Structure formats: C-alpha cells, structure tokens
Amino acid sequence: MQGEQMESDVAIPRRQPIRWHIAVFLAPAVVIYTAIMILPLGGTLFLSFYKEVQGVEVFVGLDNFRTLFGNERWAADFWNALKNNVIFFIIHMLVQNPIGVALAALLSIPKLRFAGFYRTAIFLPTLLSFVIVGFIWKLILSPIWGVTPYLLSLVDLKFLFAPWLGKPGSALIAVSLISVWQYVGIPMMLIYAALLNIPDEVLEAAECDGITGWSQFWKIKLPLILPSIGIISILTFVGNFNAFDLIYTVQGALAGPDGSTDILGTLLYRTFFGFQLQLGDRTMGATIATVMFLIILAGVSLYLFGIQRRMRRYQF
C-alpha cells in the first residue's frame, strides 16, 4: 500500500498553484497589443490568399505567391528590391553599428569633459523626422544649391562631386548613408547604457592585472556588451527590412533612378497603397508583406533560438 502511494507520488508530480501574477504582468501588454496590432495585421496578411474579383474577395490559395515569384515583372521587381535591401542592411551593419559602438566607447570614458554635450549633439539626428532628414539632405546634396560641391572644393576634392542621388550607381549608397547618419544614435545609446552597466570593480580588477586602454576594451568590455551588440544587430536587421520612409521622402515612391533604390518596404507600400495612377492592390501588397514577414521572422528566430540562447550573460 505504502509503496504504491509513493509510486503514484512520483508518477503524478504535485501541480504548482496557478501563478496569477504572471497573468497580471502579461495581461495589459498582451490585450492592447493583440487588439490593436495583431488582429488588424493578421486580417491584412490573410488577404495574401485572396484575390479581388469585381469587388469581392475570392480565396485563391497560393496563387498570389505564384504570381510574385513566377511572373517575370513581379519577380524582377521583388528580387531587385531584395537585393537592394540586403545592400542597405550590409551598409548599416558595416558603417552604422561600428561607428555607434566606437562613439559609445569614447563617450563612456570616465570623467570625460563635455560628454553630455557630445552625446546630445550626436543623438540629435535620430530624433528628427524623416521628412526633415530627407529634405535637408536633398538640399545639401543638391548640385543646384551647391553646398557639397563648395565644401569639397575647400579641400580640393571638387572633382569627386557627382549628382549622387540621381545616378543609379550611387543613389542607394547615398540614401543608405543618410539613413546611417540619422540612426547612428540608436546603437550608440544602447551600447552606452550597456557600457555604463559594467561595474567599476570589474574594470579596476582588470587594471590591477595591467589590462587598460584598447586591450581592456577588446578583452573585458566587448565580451560584456556582446548581448547588446546582438540586440542592435537584430534591431538593425528588422528596421532595415521594414524601412521605407526615408527612401519615399528622398527618392519618391518609384525609388528612382530606374528603381535603383527600391527596397522591400517601398515596393510593399507602392503595391499596397498604390501610387499616382497605380491603384492600391491590397492582395498583392499583403503577399509581399507576408514574404517580408517570413524573411524577418527567419532572421529574428535565428537570433532568438540560435544566438541569444548561446550568448553568455553576466549578472552583476
């Protein structure tokens, strides 16, 4: 008898009481987020399985996806946008994030004078609306207004000047760099917060071992801020594959010249909401959105399951 009871105790583990506080902590966020974001967005993504025929939406299965990848024109537009988007992302990873980390490292030097001032000034562009950013940079790079040619002529480099935003070969790079200029504050701030979070004891211990300056950064600080670098990489990825505002403002909805600055976001908005005489095509738009969503989901999952799990975290 007793033996049996013991066995059943082992077989049926005691159930934990329901932890209501978890539900309380999650509820407000989940409710608002589900109602305002997930439901409307879900409704839109489902449209990718439909086609509008004479004002009525008809279920067509995967037909829209076949059109997107099978139709010569659609496929050409899509792959062009994806290619440009990858370039856009690479430029951000290679330029924006290293600069952001470097600036944060400089700013976090203890007792640095004017640090607050520098930080505010460098972060300022991040606060500006893309409407402003787009307009200002179009003016600055404009061959008509002559600001850039003049500045280049001061250092005898005027021959380098070209109407960058108007040339298919350079427009994408120029727009990417404008975007880098605007958003460099985000990695800077995140890394800055992470660097300040490193306890002084750790650094003092390192100094006692004679690790200072550069080697201190590489050997002590960098491993400690790796999780934050992970976050900024994934945020950059998500942000870049959702981007469209800046290109819309600087290069217009057709992302010219000759589609050379068209990224997935601009292709999506043009298709979904229409442009000029082109009417909004909600079902094809939803199809592109679904593909973009899958791309981003793949990237984020890779990060969440592959990288984030393996990353070593240090608790202070």
Contact set for other proteins, span 2-31 (CB under 8 A): 19, 21-22, 24-26, 28-30
Q: Closest CB to other proteins among 5 and 309?
A: 309
Q: Which of 62, 94, 147, 157 binds other proteins (CB under 8 A)?
A: 147
Nearest residue (CB) to other proteins, 6 versus 38: 38
| 312 interacts with other proteins by CB under 8 A | no
Of 95, 133, 93, 138, nearest in space to 245 by CA: 133
189: its two tokens: 């701030």
- Name residues contacting other proteins, limited to 125-144 (CB under 8 A): 125-133, 135-144
Of these, 63, 152, 173, 256, which contacts other proteins (CB under 8 A)? 256
Contacting residue, 6, 7, 39, 209, with other proteins by CB under 8 A: 39
Stretch that binds other proteins, among 7-15, 43-51, 56-64, 83-91 (CB under 8 A): 43-51
Min dist. Cβ of residue 308 to other proteins (A): 8
Which 174-233 positions form the footprint of other proteins (CB under 8 A)? 181, 184, 186, 189-190, 192-193, 196-197, 199-201, 204, 207, 212-213, 227-228, 231
Q: Residue 80 contacts by C-beta under 8 Å, 6 or more apart in sequence? A: 259, 262
Smallest gap from Cβ 93 to other proteins, in A, equals: 18
- Contact predicate 161/152, CB 8 Å: yes
Considering beta carbons, is residue 12 or 29 the nearer one to other proteins?
29
Whether the Cβ atoms of residue 263 and residue 247 lie closer than 8 Å to each other: yes
Using CB under 8 A, which residues numbered 79 to 108 contact other proteins?
Answer: 99, 102-103, 106-107
Give the sign of the dihedral formed by CA 86, CA 274, CA 169, CA 135: negative
At closest approach, how far in Å is the CB of 280 from other proteins? 6
Told to check if 58 binds other proteins by CB under 8 A, we report no
Rounded to the nearest 10 degrees, how much is the dihedral formed by the CA atoms of 152, 155, 158, 162?
-40
Residue 272 interacts with other proteins (CB under 8 A)? yes
Task: Enumerate residues 6+ apart whose C-beta is below 8 A from 190.
Answer: 100, 104, 228, 231, 232
> What is the total count of residues that contact other proteins (CB under 8 A)?
134
Contact code string over 282-311 relative to other proteins, x by CB under 8 A: --xxx--x--xx--xx--xx--x-------
Query: Does residue 275 sit in helix, strand or coil?
Result: strand
Given 41, 58, 90, 302, the residue binding other proteins (CB under 8 A): 41
CA distance 131 to 139: 12
Sorted by sequence, the CB contacts under 8 Å of residue 274 that are 6+ apart come out as 280, 281
> Which residue do the tokens 């976050």 mark?
231
The DSSP output letter for 160 is G
Q: Which stretch binds other proteins (CB under 8 A): 4-12, 57-65, 81-89, 278-286?
A: 278-286
Residues 6+ apart with CB under 8 A from 314: 224
